[in-house]
Chain A
Amino acid sequence: MKLHLLLPVLLAAFTVPATLDAPAPAGDHDWAVDTGHSSVVFRVKHANVANFYGVFNEIRGTVSLDPQAPEKGAVSLVIPVASVATRDGKRDDHLKGPDFFNAKENPDITFTSTKIGKKGDALEVTGDLELAGEKKPVTMTVQKTGEGDFYGPRVGYEATFTIKRSEFGMDYGVARNALGDEVTVMVGLELVKPKK
């Protein structure tokens, strides 16, 4: 196939919104996570030497947020553990097993907000993080990264927070510092209007 024929096809593949079947809460301030353009990256120190990065390839959920009254908002996110990816299939399987996420018993990581407030230009979101069968409160600062119109209105947010994985029962390799206890999680969300 000639390049000038192939190019529009490739462009369409990269630009068509990925979340056309997102769940549909009602309301002007309701958004759905655009799975294809949102990211979850985690960082943990290996052998107390270097930062290691992994990702979860899937995140879904809903956000309800009125910029004038953020305290009335709600965030609900789901990350399937099966989507963890660290560029090594065997390591991914180990992460999904009972030593870490215990994915067969706890297939999803969930976050449900309990309080949203303003913190300067940013938002401070507190909620329950359920991970490997343990539920703990976490608080994160959420920055708005942009908004625009691209196949419909979109808005972007980014949050970074740190957890101690041992508090969630994931203490494999902590004792000898083979793998750090602190895990920094970076979440980049692109939100779209849910399909009615």
Chain B
Amino acid sequence: MDLVPVLQGTLPPIAAALLLVSLGGARLLPLAAGLGLLVAYGLLKRWPDPPTELWFAPNGTEWLLWCLAAAAVLALLEHFRLWRGRLAAGSAVLLGGLGAWLVLAKVAARWPLAETLLHVGLGGLVTAGLALLLRASLHRARPGLLPAIAVTVLLSADAALLVGFGGSALLGQLCGALAAAVGAGLGTALWRRPFALGPGDGTWLGIAHGLFLLAGVHLASLPWLVAVFAAAAPALLLVLPGRTK
């Protein structure tokens, strides 16, 4: 295994999460993950083009990064109670749908309308649904380390599937970068308590889970069946112990 790209992909999100979560608590985790992801991509490949340029020359992987950065901002706003309730859930759904459209923009340009509607529509619905599912699961789960451990395992499994079945080291490394950010944030619980994920984190984690699988299928060679099973995995979070009334 080539260690250099693994370190390029994981060290920025780990460093960002250790620093920001130590300073400001778990509510800064989305910011750390978003920043770490963009820096990881910069080190692994190049600095992503800004959305103003991607609009005219789309690149699915780079749109994925910006969508996750936007999801991280939404989560951050929710953590600071500037964005909450139905507005927060609605914007998660909108961003999930928009993200699917943007990630598939370039490949969809060659599809007939029916195929575009099917793939973009289905991808958007699944991504938005995953954001809502993760939000609900993290809202329901008892605060503690267990949900964060489960999410770290989920994103690590996505990364392994993207490399093993999707044949894309880049997508796997980027997804692994998010897993590394959550794992490092989790590690700060050793010296800074409490560490708990909230519904706002469900927005960026659900969108990340959905968009990475969508990119794996449509930009790499992740088989549909594998993606469907992986997409359903967050349902297991519902079995985590709930909050006591």
A residues sitting closer than 8 Å to B (CB atoms) are 90, 93-94, 96-99, 102, 104-105, 107, 133, 169, 171-173, 175-176, 178
Contact = CB atoms under 8 A, between A and B. Distances in A.
Given A90-B167, A93-B221, A171-B45, A98 B2 contact: no
Interface string B72-107: 000000000000000000000000000000000011
A90 B220 CA distance: 12
6 contacts: A102-B219, A104-B219, A107-B110, A172-B170, A175-B5, A176-B4
A51 B221 CA distance: 27
A115 B127 CA distance: 48
Given A169-B46, A175-B4, A133 B59 contact: yes
Contact of A105 (B46, B106, B167, B168): B106
Contacts, number: 50
B5 A98 contact: no
Interface of B: 2, 4-5, 45-46, 57-61, 106-107, 110, 166-171, 215, 218-221
A76 B221 CA distance: 30
Given A172-B170, A178-B2, A98 B107 contact: no
Contacts of B60: 105
B223 to A, nearest CB: 11
B110 A97 contact: no
A97 B2 contact: no
A112 B4 CA distance: 37
A97 B167 contact: yes
Nearest to A96: B221
Given A104-B218, A176-B2, A178-B2, A98 B46 contact: no
B163 to A, nearest CB: 10
Contacts of B58: 105
Contacts of B110: 107
B106 A98 contact: no
Contacts of A90: 167
Contacts of B2: 173, 175-176, 178
A97 B219 contact: yes
Nearest to A133: B59
Nearest to B173: A99
Nearest to A95: B167
Contacts of B220: 97-98, 104
A115 B4 CA distance: 41
